[in-house]
Amino acid sequence: MSSRAAVVIGEMQAGDGPDSEPCSSDDGGGSDGAWEEDDESKAPALASCLFCDRFFSSAEDAFCHCTSDHGFSIGNLAHKHKLDFYGYIKLVNFIRLEKPTVEYFSSISTPFPWEEEKYLKPVLEDDLLLQFDIEDLLDSTDIFCSNGLTETSSPIERLKHAEHKAELAEAALARAQEDLQKMRQFAQDFVMNTEVRSGAIADLKEDEEDVYFSSYGHYGIHEEMIKDKVRTESYRDFIYQNAHIFRDKIVLDVGCGTGILSMFAAKAGAKKVIGVDQSEIIYQAMDIIRLNGLGDTISLIKGRIEEVDLPVDKVDVVISEWMGYFLLFESMLDSVIYARDKYLAKGGSVYPDICSISLVAVSDLKKHADRLAFWDDVYGFNMSCMKKAVIPEAVVEVLDPGTLISEACVIKRIDCHVVSVSELNFSSDFTLRVTKTSVCTAVAGYFDIYFEKNCSKTVLFSTSPCCTKTHWKQTAFFLENPISVEAGEELKGKITVHKNRKDPRSLIITLSLKNVKQTYSLQ
């Protein structure tokens, strides 16, 4: 292993730099024989494939397998992009950590996605691929293309090669069985140990931000959003019907997901579109962009907009589909505001540009009973104490427009060109003018979205119960005790909305109505 590889892998001890003399020992135990005995006691290290679970006795064999079985030549890639030692180390760790497809590498361009310093940190301990000398890759790639065999290899050579692969497989299986037994023993000890040490739960708890972004890494949530015609067709119509906003402009797509908005912008004539997303779905987006022949116009960057470096100083347009339940759930507007403040050129535009949140009174005694009165008699048992846990949870559901008993009241209007993050925590007085004598069982919230600035044709859509349903549905705040109301009455109240300090992507909502105050969580 070269001294440079030792630095990156972290195997060197203090004083073991490339110019250091070998350490000596005064106790006579530092002989070559002693070192050899120690090495024999350890299982030989194996090289793990970059794209599957197979192991090999050397880096050469692993590279050979990558070429023959996966169609990926790391030697060719190193030559093509003129990788130096550190670039090679980062590339290997990038592949191990991010798990891109082989096809992904056919469309990359500078800046390379593995250039961040974090990819100097080894993903695998004692990774043989990181111990391989980059000069061997740059001198020749012949050893990585035939699994060590050529067309003229004799049957005996091929048989020996097959036997060697079988031995490697048996060794890997034996280690896997040993690891499985250790895991079983660990699980047994964990379950039998009745003493829960402080910090054990914290060690098992996933980081909430990682959970949030990983949820958007699955195709299902993107399928649901794309199939929401109100959402997707509104963005499409706004972009295509106002192509002058995008023509020859640089566009930033914050939270690009599968890249659908980026592709709309490219088709509308954008000079350059930059899509940014932290979730794993961006790797599929890269394939989608390439399949549609838009790789020259659209560049995708994996990471949080607050942490990545864009290849441009300023953009002309920021687009994003950032809305969550009750508009502000998930706090993604914070990221759009950050992108606006840092990257939007003077006179540039953010879309959508205007948003509003509205409240409306609801009367649905059956649904109220299903949610609350149900606990009064559960198979003959009184579980009414459960109501204290049920009431504070806001419910995201599709409301029957026939259950609405008041006019809507706007409680918050947001101009995305000027709003600050602090303004997203707010309080608002409201008045709901009752249209039907009834019993108010809940107050529901929904939002409206507008594309207006510089538009020759404005586009808007609503998530109101009276409009075509969307995947955002509506957000209902059930009252513990329904309120009798009469037509023409003004139901006055106050609502306060702020982020949950423990989980900033969720919301805490306090509703005051007829001198009764109730706090709800939306998470």
Burial of 440 (0-12, 13-18, 19+ CB in 10 A): buried
Give the span between the Cα atoms of 457 and 125, in whole angstroms: 58
Q: Bigger pLDDT: 315 or 68? A: 315
Do the beta carbons of residue 361 and residue 485 sit within 8 Å?
Answer: yes
Say which of 115, 195, 280, 321 is annotated catalytic: 321
pLDDT at res. 106:
78
Say which of 36, 103, 157, 330 is annotated catalytic: 330
- Which stretch of 140-149, 334-343, 347-356 has the lowest confidence by average pLDDT? 140-149
Among 28-32, 46-50, 224-228, 498-502, the range of highest mean pLDDT = 46-50
Give the span between the Cα atoms of 140 and 147, in whole angstroms: 15
For the residues 257-280, what does the mean pLDDT come to?
94
Average model confidence (pLDDT) across the chain: 81
Whether 145 has a pLDDT exceeding 80, the answer reads no
List, in order of start, the domains of the chain with CATH numbers: 3-14+44-144 (no CATH), 213-321 (3.40.50.150), 354-522 (2.70.160.11)
pLDDT at res. 209:
45
Dihedral pair phi/psi, residue 500, rounded to 5°:
-75, 125
- Which stretch of 328-332, 479-483, 513-517 has the lowest confidence by average pLDDT? 328-332
Question: DSSP assignment, residue 228?
Answer: -
DSSP characters over 228-296: -HHHHHHHHHHHHHTGGGTTT-EEEEET-TTSHHHHHHHHTT-SEEEEEE-STHHHHHHHHHHHTT-TT
Do the beta carbons of residue 94 and residue 114 sit within 8 Å?
Answer: yes
Asked if residue 311 has a cis previous peptide bond (ω within 30° of 0), the answer is no
Copy the structure tokens of residue 408: 């809507």
**Is 321 designated active site?**
yes
- Type of residue numbered 415: D
Copy the structure tokens of residue 268: 């509308």
Copy the structure tokens of residue 342: 């840092």
Whether 467 has a pLDDT exceeding 90, the answer reads yes
- Under 8 Å CB-to-CB from 167, ≥6 apart: which residues? none
pLDDT at res. 159:
67
Give the span between the Cα atoms of 259 and 262, in whole angstroms: 5
pTM score of the predicted model: 0.60
- Under 8 Å CB-to-CB from 273, ≥6 apart: which residues? 250, 251, 252, 253, 262, 265, 266, 297, 298, 299
Indicate the pLDDT class of residue 163, thresholds 50, 70 and 90. low
pLDDT at res. 31:
40
Mind listing the pLDDT tens digit for each residue in 105-127? 877 877 888 888 888 888 888 88
* C-alpha distances in Å from residue 306, one per residue of 14, 338, 342: 36, 7, 9
pLDDT at res. 167:
64
Strand 272-277 to strand 250-254: parallel, antiparallel, or no bridges (unpaired)? parallel
Do the beta carbons of residue 57 and residue 44 sit within 8 Å?
Answer: yes
Q: Bigger pLDDT: 426 or 173? A: 426
Do the beta carbons of residue 238 and residue 459 sit within 8 Å?
Answer: yes
Indicate the pLDDT class of residue 25, thresholds 50, 70 and 90. very low
CA 57 and chain centroid, separation: 35
Whether 193 has a pLDDT exceeding 80, the answer reads no
Asked if residue 401 has a cis previous peptide bond (ω within 30° of 0), the answer is no
Copy the structure tokens of residue 447: 């939002």
- Which stretch of 74-88, 102-116, 198-212, 245-259 has the lowest confidence by average pLDDT? 198-212
Indicate the pLDDT class of residue 143, thresholds 50, 70 and 90. very low
Give the span between the Cα atoms of 431 and 492, in whole angstroms: 4
Any idea which residue has 């809507």 for tokens?
408
Q: What angle do CA 371, 372, 378 make, to 5 degrees?
A: 95
For the residues 327-340, what does the mean pLDDT come to?
90
